[in-house]
Structure 1
């Protein structure tokens, strides 16, 4: 064998040894996955480096991510970036528009959000709220007088209305007794009166002749009701009764009413005014669309700005509670060895190939040097 052939042969052998050695070394990072035994003797370098040190690798990856990648400062900085907030605002505005125009009813939307029997629960809550408010107000004012508990303006206004009330009562009285029903009522009263007096009543009717007693009484009643003195008398009576009422305690006032009936009527009135069945069957858009521009142009940007600042300020505490390092470690530890190997290879496949080629290049260079030394000797 001549010198040139010897050198070429040694270069090829050296390159093959270098490449194969590096390839085996790279493969031994992952393989074998489990320790191998000959009898009771465990083969060295089994399992591979990464399977053997997977727990430590997972801890180091978690620590690196927590201390250098997902740090509170980096996340806070990202949340405070104007471009990031602008992107979030645009995204929320796009998401809000379909919701604002949704034809789903309020009941359907609440059903999707897992709020079961929303209408019935709302009705029960309103009734409970009325009970609570009634009892709290009652406990505060029960031992106070009407004068003490009501605002002075209300009392003055009510007192100023007494002449109007008197006028209203007298006007209605005049209208009543001027009409057919009032005339019939006077006739019935006079007939009953004459019947009670027996013969004296008959004699009185004979004295009156063709003129009936009610025809004499009715004009006098109307004349009495139209008299200024009657109005003054009624004003005085109402004023006295009003003054007595102002000195009543609410416990005395409430004795005149049934709590249960008052509450039942109050609840019925409130629920009737709210009309919950109709309210829950209206589409969501009915309530939101009138405010669409304000929500998209004002509320959402302000919400993103405020929420971003609040979240950013609480990131350190949140990150501490989340324990990102532990999450990453636990996740890496759940990976199968095949998947972990594939992840590393996907990241560094090109570099590992270059290491193999470099081993071959170095082996070839060593073979060339050895060939030259052999040739010289």
Structure 2
């Protein structure tokens, strides 16, 4: 065999051995997936390196992702990037516009959000709120007098109204007795009076002659009601009664009235004013469209900015709670070995081919050197 043929043969053999050896080594990273036995003796290098160390590999990948890839600092930088915030703002603005113009009713929207029987629940909440407020106010003021519980300004104002009340009463009294109804009432009263006195009453009527008793009494009543003294007397009486009323405790006041009936009527009145049935049947756009420009141009950008700042400030705690490393480890451990092999090959296929080629080149070089040594010696 001449030297050229020998060298070519040695180079070819060396390259084949180097390439095949590296290919087998790469293959042994994944295969076999399970240990192989001859009888009770387990074959060495089975299972492959990655199947054997999959748990440790999963932990290392999880730790690497948590400590070097998805770190609070890297996420915070991303959240604070102006381009990222601008993209989020534009996306939310596009999503908000159809909602602001939606023709679905408030009840339909709440139903889609799984708030069932929203109208009935709102009505029950309003009634419960009124009950709670009423009983809290009642228990707070129950042992207090009216004077203690009302503001001083209210008391002064109402006390100033006492003369107006007496003037109103006297004016209405004068108007009443000056009219036909008042005169009829006086006549009925005098007739009853004369009838009770019998003969004495008849004598009084005879003394008066053609003039009826009511004609004498009616002007006197009007004169009495128009007298300044009567007004002063009524002012004094009203003032005394008002002072007595102010010293009542609310407990005494409530005993004279059915507060439960008043509470029931109050709740019914408030619910009628709220008109929840009509409110929940209105389209969502009725509530939102008046504020559309403000929501789109002001509220959403402000919300993105503040939400980003809040999330960024709490990222360390959030990341600690999420345990990204554990999540990655659990996901990697659930991968089948075939899928894990495919992932690694997809990532490093070119590099693994280059390693195989490098083995062939090195083997060929070694074969060439061996051929030259054999030729020399």
Report if TM-score (shorter chain) is over 0.5. yes
Q: Give the 3 Å change call, closer, same or farther, for CA 265–94 of structure 1 in structure 2.
A: same
Structure 1 residues 287 and 176: alpha-carbon distance in aligned structure 2, compared to 1, 3 A threshold: farther
Stretch of structure 1 that moved more, 178-187 or 254-263: 178-187
Change (3 A) 1:105 1:205: farther
Cross-structure match for 2:322: 322
Q: CA deviation at 1:65?
A: 0.9
1:173 to 1:343, Cα distance in 2 relative to 1, 3 A: farther
Seen in structure 2, the aligned counterparts of structure 1 residues 3 and 243 have a Cα distance that, compared at 3 Å, is same
**How far apart, CA to CA, are the structure 2 residues paired with 1:221 and 1:204?**
19
2:21 is matched with: 21
**What is residue 130 of structure 2 aligned with on the other side?**
130
Higher deviation after alignment, 4-13 or 327-336: 4-13
Equivalent residues, number: 377
Q: Give the corresponding residue for 1:83.
A: 83
> In structure 2, what is the Cα distance between the partners aligned to 1:177 and 1:104?
64
Equivalent in the alignment of 1:281: 281
How much has 1:233 moved relative to structure 2? 3.0
C-alpha deviation, 1:217, in angstroms: 5.0
More deviation in 176-185 or 162-171? Answer: 176-185
Mapping of residues 1-377 of structure 1, within 5 Å: 1-177=1-177, 181-182=181-182, 185-186=185-186, 188-190=188-190, 192-193=192-193, 196=196, 218=218, 220-377=220-377
- Cα deviation, residue 51, structure 1: 0.6
- C-alpha spacing 1:85/1:13, structure 2 compared with 1 (3 Å): same
Structure 1's 115 and 163: CA in aligned 2 closer, same or farther, altered over 3 A? same
Distance 1:352 1:191, change over 3 A: farther
SS at match of 2:314: helix
Q: Which moved more, 1:38-47 or 1:186-195?
A: 186-195
- Mean alpha-carbon deviation: is it higher for 141-150 or for 286-295? 286-295
Structure 2 CA distance for aligned equivalents of residues 97 and 139 of structure 1: 49
In structure 2, do the counterparts of structure 1 residues 91 and 214 end up closer, same or farther at CA, with 3 Å as the change threshold? farther
Q: Which moved more, 1:173-182 or 1:356-365?
A: 173-182
Change in CA separation of 1:294 and 1:174 when aligned onto 2, cut-off 3 Å = farther
Q: Distance in 2 between matches of 1:217 and 1:280?
A: 65
1:223–1:376 Cα change, 3 Å: same
Given the superposition, is the C-alpha separation of residues 15 and 240 from structure 1 closer, same or farther in structure 2, using an over 3 Å criterion? same
TM-score normalised by the chain length of structure 1:
0.88
Runs of 5+ in structure 2 lacking a partner?
none
* Inter-CA distance 24–131: structure 2 relative to 1 (3 Å threshold): same
> Measured at CA, do residues 116 and 180 of structure 1 come closer, stay the same or move farther in structure 2, by a change above 3 Å?
farther
Q: Which moved more, 1:71-80 or 1:341-350?
A: 71-80
1:221-280 Cα distance to aligned partner (Å, 9 max, x none): 455444444433332222221111122222222221112112212222222222222222
What does the per-residue CA deviation read over 1:128-158, in whole Å, with 9 as the maximum and x for residues that have no partner? 2222222222222222222222111101111
Partner-residue secondary structure (3-state), 2:31: coil
Structure 1 stretches lacking a partner, 5+ long: none
Deviation at 1:64, TM superposition (A): 0.7
How many Å separate the matches in 1 of 2:112 and 2:142?
45
How much has 1:181 moved relative to structure 2? 4.9
Normalization by structure 2: what TM-score? 0.88
Q: CA RMSD in A?
A: 2.7
Where 2:303 maps in the other structure, the secondary structure is: helix
Worse-matched range after superposition: 166-175 or 316-325: 166-175
Distance 1:335 1:179 in 2: 103
Bigger shift: 165-174 or 202-211?
202-211
Return the alpha-carbon distance in structure 2 between the equivalents of residues 49 and 58 of structure 1. Answer: 13
CA distance in 1, matches of 2:314, 2:166: 68
CA distance in 2, matches of 1:116, 1:183: 66
Secondary structure at 1:239 match in 2: helix
The DSSP-based 3-state class of the residue aligned with 1:248 is: coil
